[in-house]
Amino acid sequence: MNPKPTNVILVNNIDSNIYMTWLKVMEPIHKMTPKEMELASKFIDSYITNKDNIVNAEMLNDYVFSSENKRKIRLSLGMSPTYFQITMKGLKDKKFILDGKLNLQYVPEFDNRGNILLMFIIKQ
């Protein structure tokens, strides 16, 4: 019989945006600034919101990074076009965006109860 794991940590949603909470937990790994996390959370939300309607992964990424969607996200955050571009460059530099696509390493997966589960594997 397997013993009950003792290395499970419960993180309550600390932000009104679950994706911001996710990115805050992941901060030691991605090292994004608060504004980069805010923008990244909007892209994650757009990706997850549309992944059931747009089943083709290429088309989904095209939609998430379309001019129209980026403009909508930029306006919702109150960012100037210049600041948006600077923040986008930061997301590319930190590999949140790879080859014009969302790096799925930073997209949370939900269990059947709506919880995000995260596993760390630490190699020796």
Model confidence pLDDT, tens digit, residues 18-66: 899 999 999 999 999 999 999 999 999 999 999 989 988 899 999 999 9
- Which residue in the block uniquely carries the two structure tokens 């059931």? 52
Paired residues of 110 in beta bridges: 116
Q: Above 80 in pLDDT, residue 9?
A: no
| pLDDT on residue 1 | 55
For residue 121, is pLDDT > 60?
Answer: yes
Q: How many domains does the chain have?
A: 1
Q: Decide if 81 is inside a domain.
A: yes
Classify residue 29: in a domain, yes or no. Answer: no
DSSP 2: P
Q: How does pLDDT run across 76-105, given as a tens digit for each residue? A: 999 999 999 999 999 999 999 999 999 999
One-letter amino acid for residue 109 of the chain: E
Range of the domain at 59: 18-22+34-106
